[in-house]
Amino acid sequence: MFKKIFRPGCRLFAVGSILMLLTAAAHTAGQFAPMPDDAALKSVMAVMQGYRLDMGMGMKPSIDDISNSLAFTMSILLVFLSVQNLVTLYWAGDSARLVRGLTAINLLCAVTLTALYWHYRIPPPLICFGLISIVFTLSLVLPNKREA
């Protein structure tokens, strides 16, 4: 596997993809880092956690919920983009397998984001990524005429 991903002409792309994975890990760790002991920041955070938006569907996320979901979105997308890049390198040259691999990764990404926005109760991306999940699922389960 290592040789397929790090073959000549692809090494920098592979390294860049791994750096994106490391960036995602650092970004996620930063989300869980303790807040500085700053009275003004604590006040802002209290307001963000207390102010809720009625977004329909019985969901009223706080501004802090929305902010956190967007921050985790960056981490999730960086990870999945990185993995997609590495799979592309691994399977390059075999288009049917490449497409199925990319479809599966995109499905996993969409389902994960759907779960994230369900947790934070934010309807617009919940609906969008739920729909995308359905489309990718159909892409995997419906027969491909070229393979049949």
DSSP 8-state secondary structure symbol assigned to residue 35: P
| pLDDT tens by residue, 29-84 | 999 999 999 999 999 999 999 999 999 999 999 999 999 999 999 999 999 999 99
Whole-prediction pTM: 0.72
| pLDDT tens by residue, 87-111 | 988 887 555 677 778 888 989 998 9
Q: pLDDT band at residue 145, thresholds of 50, 70 and 90?
A: low
* Distance from C-alpha of 102 to C-alpha of 100, rounded to nearest angstrom: 5
Neighbours of 94 (CB within 10 A): 11
What does R_g of the chain's alpha carbons equal in angstroms? 19
